[in-house]
Structure 1
Amino acid sequence: MAKGNSSSNDLVFGLDDRPGFSVSTFAALQHVLASFIGIITPTLIVGGVLGLGSEIPYLVSMALIVSGIGTFIQARRFGPIGSGLLCVQGTSFAFLSSILAAGFIVKNRGGTPEDILATIFGVCFLAASVEIILSRFIDKLKKIITPIVTGTIITLIGLHLIKIAMTDIAGGFGAPDLGSPVNLLLASLVLITIVIFNRFQVHLLRLSAVIMGLTVGFVVAWSMGKVDFSTLSTLPLVSVPVPFKYGFNFDLAAFIPIAIIYVITALETTGDLTANSMVSKQPVTGPLFVKRIKGGVLGDGVNSAIAASLNSLPMTTFSQNNGVIQLTGVASRYVAVFIAGILVLLGLFPIIGGVLQQMPKPVLGGATLIMFGTVAMAGVKIIAESGLDRRAMFITAISIGMGLGVDFVPEVLSSMPDQMKNIIGNPLTIGAFAAIFLNIILPEDLGAEESEAQAEEVFSESEAEAQVVVVEPNKS
C-alpha cells in the first residue's frame, strides 16, 4: 500500500495519498455503513407515505446508484465541479417535507404514482439550478441567510417530520391496526436497541446503531408474521437507470419550497465541507478553501440534478462521514472510488430495495423518530450557538409559530385560492419566508441593545452585592 507524507499524526493517509486495496476497501465499507440508512430512508418514507408501491425497489436502487456517482464526482473533481475531498453524497432529509407536499398536490388532483414522480423529479431537477447559481457567490449568501434563519428552518423541518415518524410508529397512514400494542412494541424495541448501541465505547458499534436497531426490529417483525417476501420473485434481476423514466412535469407551488431548501442545503454543505477540510488537515481559509467550498456546493447542485434525471431525490454531503475519517485516519479521496463502486453495485440489484420495502412501518418509525428529532435539535443548536438575544428570539418565535401553525391548523388558509394555499400552506415555506423577511427588516442593534442592558443590570447587581459584603462586617 502507498502511504504518503501526511502532515499530521492523526491521519494515516492524507487527502492525496493512495492506500492499498485492502485498506481502501475497509475504509469504504465503513463509510457505506455510516451512510447507507441515510441514503435509502428518505426514499422509503416518500414511497410509503405517497403510496408508490411497486416503484419503491427501483427508487431505492436509483438512490444508491446516484449516491455512488455523486460521491465520485465530489472527490474526483471535474473542472469546477466537486470539492476534491472525501465526502459522501447521499439523499437529503431536508427536502422530505417539501417533496411530500409536492406529491400530495399531485395526488389530491387524482394523479397516478407516475404523475407524482414526474412532478417531484421535474421540480427537483429545475430547482437544482438554484444551488448551482448560488455556488458562485456562496460567501455572500451568508449575509442574508444567517445562522438564525438556517437554524429556524432546520428546526421546522425536524418538527414537521416528527409527525410522520409518529404515524409510522402507530402503523402508518391508513393502517387497520393503527396504534396497536404490537406496533408500539416494535417501535420501542428499535428505539431501545439504538440507544443501547449508542452507549458502546467502540466507535464502529455506535456507527452501526441505526442499522442494528432496524435489523433487530425487522427480524422480530418477521418472526411475528408481519413481513411478506412473496413479492420479491416478481422483481427484475438488475435495475438499469433510465433518465426521467416517469416523465417530466412542473408545478410552481411545489417548486418554491423545494427551491428554498436548495438555498439552505448550500449553506449546510458549506459547513460540512469546512468540517471535512479540518479533519482532512486541509486549510479552512484562503483561496484553496474558497475554491473547495464553491466546487463542493456546485457539485451538490449538479449531483442533485443528476439524481432527479435518474429518478432519485436531491442530494447533499453527509456530515457523519467526517467522523469515519477521524475513526479510520484515512482521508484519501481515492477511497471515494471504492465507496462509489460499492454503492453502485448495491443499487444495481433491486432485491435490496424489495427487501427494505417490506420494513414494517413501526420499525422504520422507531428509527426515524430519532433521526428527525436529531434534525430538529441540530437546528436548535445552530440557533443557540448564534446567540439567543431579543432579536433572534423574535425571529425564531414568529417563524416557527407560523410554520407549525399552518401545519397544525391547515383550515386557517381555507378561504385562499388553491394555488396560494399550496404555496404558503407548506409549513416550511411560510416559516422560511418569515425568518428571511424578519432577518432583513429587523435592525441588528435590537439584540445589541438588550445585551448592553443585560450587562448593565448584571454590573449593577454585582456592585450592590459588593456593597453588602463590605457593610456586613461593620455591623458585626
Structure 2
Amino acid sequence: MSDNHELLYGLEDRPTAIKTVTAAFQHVLASFVGVITPTLIIAAALDLHAHIPFLVSMALFVSGIGTIIQTKSFGRIGSGLVAVQGTSFAFVSALILAGVTVRQRGGSDDDVMALLLGITMAGAMVEVVLSFFIHKLTRLLNPVITGIVITSIGLSLIKVGMTDLNGGFGSVDFGQLNHVGLGLSVLFVIIFLNASNNLWVRLSAIFIGMALGTLCAWSFGNVSFAHLSSLPVLAIPTPFKYGIDFDFALFLPLALIYLFSALETAGDLTANSVFCNQPITGPVYLKRIKGGILGDGINSVLAACFNTFPNTTFGQNNGVIQLTGIASRRVGIAIGGFYVLFGIFPIIGGILQAIPKAVLGGATLVMFAMVAVGGLKILMQQNFDRRTSLITASALGLGMGVMMVPEMTLGFPQWLGNIIASPVTLSGLTAVFLDMTLPKQVPLPDLNAQNNSPKEQKKSPPDLVQNTRLSHHESAS
C-alpha cells in the first residue's frame, strides 16, 4: 500500500544541495501562509496590532526550530519524517476567547499575551504525556480511522486552497475572474510540469508555477511591496518577553483541543509515512507516531517560550512530497533553516507575503487534494464491508457537513463548539466512537459446508445415505 514507485529520493537519501534547496523552498511556499495566518487572526481579533511583526517573526522562527526537531529527531523526540511544524488553526477560537476574557477584565496587551502563552505551555503537556501512552491506544490508529482522518484533513484544506484561489478571505473582489483565472493558470502549469519525465522540471514545478503567476500579477500591478517599509530589519528571539500567566477555566478548552490535535498529528504522520514509502503498521510506525506527538508537545512548549502559539504537524507538505517525489530528511532540515532565517530577518518573509493569494491557492489546491487522495488510498486497501462503509460515510459526512454549515455549532457551549467546529476533529471523533461501539460483523454460516461436514454425515443413518445414492443413480439412468 505504501509502496511509492515514483519516489525520487527516499528518507535516507541525500540529494544535491541545489535539489535540496529547490525542494525545500517549495515546501515553504506551500506552508508559509498557513504558518503565519493563525497569528495574524489572533493578533487582529485581540487588538495586538502593534505586536504583529514580532509575533509573526516568532511564529516563523519556532516553526523552523520545530521542523528541524521533528525531521532530525533527538532521542525519543521527533518523528524522523519531513514533517513541517506550524501554528495550528485548531486553537484559534479558544485562544481568542481566552484573550477576550482577559480584555474584559481590563488586561493590557502584556496581560493578554502572558495568559495565552501560559495556557499554551500547560496544554502542551497533554501531548507530552499522551505520547508515552499512545501505543496502548493502537485501536485509535487502525487504518480505517487514520484513513478517514487523513481524507478529512485533505478535504478541509481544499477549502483553504479554493478560498485563496478566489482572492483570499476578506478580499473585496472575491471570486472575480482575474483571481480565478490566475489561480487556475498556476494550477494547470504545475500539473503539466509535474507530469514531465524531466527530473528538474518535475522538481521545480511548484516554484515555476508560482513564479510565473506572481510575475503575471505584477505585470498587471497586483503585487505590492509597500508593507516592507514597516518591517524591522532584525527580529531578536526574546524568551518570555510578555511574561507568563495561567487560568484553569480558560486552560480546559485548550487542553481538550490538544488531545484531539494529537489524533490529527497521527493522521498527518501516517499520510507522510505513505508518501515517504515508510510502514504504517508495526513498531517502527508506532515509534514515529509517539515521537511525532511528543515533538508536537515539546515544540508547543518552545512556542510559548518564544512568544507564539501552539504548534502542530502540518498536512500541507505531504502533497509537496507526493508531487516532487523527494522525501529526504535533508530537505526537512533545509525547510527548518529557511523558516529560522525568515523569523530572524522579517523582510524576507515580507517578500513572500506579497505573493497574490490566487497564486497560492492555485499551487496549494492540487497539493491539498493529493493529501485527501492519500487517505482514500488507505481506505480502499481495507475490506470495505457494511460496517466500514457506515463509519466512513458518517465520519466524513459530519466532518464535511460542519465545514459547509459552521452554524451548526451555535447552539453548543462555546468550548464544545470550538472543538467540533474543526472538521478533522469531528470526523476523527465520529470514526473513533463508531469503531468502538458498532458490533463487528459476523460472517454468515456456510450451509453447504455444514451439510457436508463429517459430523453431519455421522448423524445420517447408513441405509438412508445409501438409499439416497441409489435414488440419484436411478434418476440418472
Q: TM-score, normalised by structure 2?
A: 0.72
Task: Give the stretch that moved more between structures: 414-423 or 43-52.
Answer: 43-52
Q: Compute the displacement of 1:56 (Å).
A: 6.3
SS in 1 for 2:84: strand
* Structure 2 counterpart of 1:347, one-letter code: G
Q: Compute the displacement of 1:320 (Å).
A: 7.1
SS in 1 for 2:146: helix
Aligned-partner Cα distance in 2 for 1:13–1:151: 22
Aligned-partner Cα distance in 2 for 1:345–1:413: 40
What pairs up with 1:292-331 in 2 under 5 angstroms? 294-310=290-306, 311=308, 314-316=311-313
**How far does the alpha carbon of each residue in 1:96-117 deviate from its partner, in whole angstroms, 9 at most, with x for none?**
4x24544665699897999998
Q: Compute the displacement of 1:209 (Å).
A: 2.3
- The counterpart of 1:159, out of the listed 133, 155, 160, is 155
Pick closer, same or farther for the CA change 1:110–1:182 going to 2, 3 Å: farther
The 8 Å contact of residues 57 and 344 in structure 2, kept in 1 or not, is answered as yes
Task: Determine if the alignment matches structure 1 residue 41 to structure 2 residue 33.
Answer: yes
Aligned-partner Cα distance in 1 for 2:30–2:112: 23
Task: Determine if the alignment matches structure 1 residue 29 to structure 2 residue 21.
Answer: yes
Pick closer, same or farther for the CA change 1:226–1:153 going to 2, 3 Å: same
Task: Give the stretch that moved more between structures: 360-369 or 101-110.
Answer: 101-110
Aligned-partner Cα distance in 2 for 1:80–1:74: 10
SS in 1 for 2:443: helix
The 8 Å contact of residues 413 and 421 in structure 1, kept in 2 or not, is answered as yes
Aligned-partner Cα distance in 1 for 2:391–2:77: 35
Partner of 1:384: 380
Pick closer, same or farther for the CA change 1:102–1:168 going to 2, 3 Å: farther
Pick closer, same or farther for the CA change 1:136–1:388 going to 2, 3 Å: same
SS in 2 for 1:143: helix
| Matched residues, number | 425
* Structure 1 counterpart of 2:443, one-letter code: E
Partner of 1:261: 261
Q: Compute the displacement of 1:337 (Å).
A: 6.8
The 8 Å contact of residues 33 and 208 in structure 1, kept in 2 or not, is answered as no
Q: Compute the displacement of 1:256 (Å).
A: 2.8
- The counterpart of 2:239, out of the listed 230, 239, 243, is 243
Aligned-partner Cα distance in 1 for 2:417–2:149: 20
Q: TM-score, normalised by structure 1?
A: 0.72
Aligned-partner Cα distance in 2 for 1:393–1:313: 34
RMSD between aligned alpha carbons? 4.3
Aligned-partner Cα distance in 2 for 1:108–1:271: 36
What pairs up with 1:440-451 in 2 under 5 angstroms? 440-444=436-440, 446=441, 449=443
Partner of 1:351: 347
Pick closer, same or farther for the CA change 1:228–1:320 going to 2, 3 Å: closer
* Structure 2 counterpart of 1:132, one-letter code: V
Q: Compute the displacement of 1:181 (Å).
A: 1.4
Aligned-partner Cα distance in 1 for 2:9–2:424: 43
Task: Determine if the alignment matches structure 1 residue 208 to structure 2 residue 204.
Answer: yes
* Structure 2 counterpart of 1:433, one-letter code: L
Task: Determine if the alignment matches structure 1 residue 91 to structure 2 residue 80.
Answer: no
Task: Determine if the alignment matches structure 1 residue 133 to structure 2 residue 124.
Answer: no
* Structure 2 counterpart of 1:398, one-letter code: S
Task: Determine if the alignment matches structure 1 residue 199 to structure 2 residue 195.
Answer: yes
**How far does the alpha carbon of each residue in 1:37-70 deviate from its partner, in whole angstroms, 9 at most, with x for none?**
2441312443566684786665554454334423
* Structure 1 counterpart of 2:203, one-letter code: L
Pick closer, same or farther for the CA change 1:421–1:69 going to 2, 3 Å: closer
Q: Compute the displacement of 1:440 (Å).
A: 0.6
SS in 1 for 2:396: helix
Aligned-partner Cα distance in 2 for 1:218–1:400: 35
Partner of 1:3: none
Aligned-partner Cα distance in 2 for 1:76–1:314: 17
- The counterpart of 1:232, out of the listed 203, 228, 232, is 228
Aligned-partner Cα distance in 2 for 1:289–1:157: 20
SS in 2 for 1:142: helix
Aligned-partner Cα distance in 1 for 2:102–2:365: 30
Partner of 2:393: 397
Q: Compute the displacement of 1:392 (Å).
A: 1.1
Pick closer, same or farther for the CA change 1:54–1:146 going to 2, 3 Å: farther
**How far does the alpha carbon of each residue in 1:385-413 deviate from its partner, in whole angstroms, 9 at most, with x for none?**
23322111111111222223333334444
SS in 2 for 1:239: coil
Aligned-partner Cα distance in 1 for 2:11–2:153: 36
Q: Compute the displacement of 1:308 (Å).
A: 4.6
Aligned-partner Cα distance in 2 for 1:12–1:425: 38
User: Gaps (5+ residues) in structure 1?
Assistant: 1-9, 457-476
Aligned-partner Cα distance in 2 for 1:157–1:145: 15
What pairs up with 1:402-417 in 2 under 5 angstroms? 402-417=398-413
- The counterpart of 2:434, out of the listed 417, 438, 445, is 438
* Structure 2 counterpart of 1:136, one-letter code: F
Pick closer, same or farther for the CA change 1:46–1:64 going to 2, 3 Å: closer
Pick closer, same or farther for the CA change 1:167–1:119 going to 2, 3 Å: farther
Aligned-partner Cα distance in 1 for 2:142–2:285: 20
User: Gaps (5+ residues) in structure 2?
Assistant: 1-6, 450-477
